[in-house]
Amino acid sequence: MRTIGRTGIITLSLVAALVLLGGSCIFTYNKLVRLDEAAQAQWAQVENTYQRRADLVPNLVETVKGAAAFERETITAVTEARSRVGQVAAARDITSSPEAFQAHQQAQDALGGALSRLLVVAEAYPNLTATQAFRDLQAQLEGTENRIAVERMRYNEAARAFKTARASFPTSIVVAVFGDRFAEKQYFTAKAGSDVPPAVRF
């Protein structure tokens, strides 16, 4: 029976080490791909809810326009904010670009703010708020705003899982090798001033 010499043992050890290292790299790469895809899928859900809100705006504006002497400035602000949302060009993966993510979020925040002002101003017109069409649209819009908050939270959770894995060792080595393929994800953050409680006046 033939025995394996010292050179054979070293060769087998090196082969085994390379197989383990290769397997670990493949496993790590695939894990990052899964987490990246999960974050992108969750981002798509955020986009869906934003789109639902944008789709409600024309109906809401048309319903409100029918109210006599309704503030044209408020309607114009909502229409312009919706237009800006449509103009923000979304890159393939906006979540990896801080500038694009911020521009997108600012446009969405402006639309949300304009819609809030529209609903507040509408309260001054009892004939408008009494109509079934307005109440239905208001309920749909409120439900959509709740969905946006939930989907943004879920996206942040998926982004956190991706970022945690991305920064962990030895995953960080795979990230360094593949560079932009696993770019860092951006988080949704609260709007400036949201930490200050609103003043209540009676």
- For the chain, which residues make up each domain, given as ranges? 7-182
Cβ-Cβ contacts under 8 Å for 93 (sequence gap 6 or more):
40, 183
Q: How far is CA 134 from CA 60, 66, 67, in A?
A: 7, 11, 11
Which of the four pLDDT bands, split at 50, 70 and 90, describes residue 183?
confident
Q: What are the φ and ψ backbone dihedral angles of 124, each rounded to 5 degrees?
A: -75, -5
Average pLDDT, the chain: 81
- CA dist., res. 39 & res. 162, Å (int): 7
> Per residue in 122-181, pLDDT tens?
877 777 777 888 888 888 989 999 999 999 999 999 999 999 999 888 888 888 888 778
Q: Which of 86-90, 91-95, 105-109 holds the top average pLDDT? A: 105-109
The model's pTM is 0.76
Q: Which of 175, 176, 154, 179 is nearest to 165 (CA)?
A: 175
Q: What number of CA atoms fall less than 13 Å from residue 12's CA on the CB side?
A: 6
Q: Which CATH architecture has domain 7-182?
A: Up-down Bundle (1.20)
Q: d(Cα 82, Cα 118) in Å, to the nearest integer?
A: 13
The predicted pLDDT at position 1 comes to 44
Q: What is the DSSP letter of 180?
A: G
Handedness of CA 62, 63, 67, 71 (dihedral sign): negative
Mean pLDDT, range 53-78, rounded to an integer:
77
Please report which confidence band the pLDDT of residue 194 belongs to, taking 50, 70 and 90 as the band edges.
Answer: very low
- pLDDT tens by residue, 3-41: 667 787 888 778 888 887 777 888 888 899 999 999 999
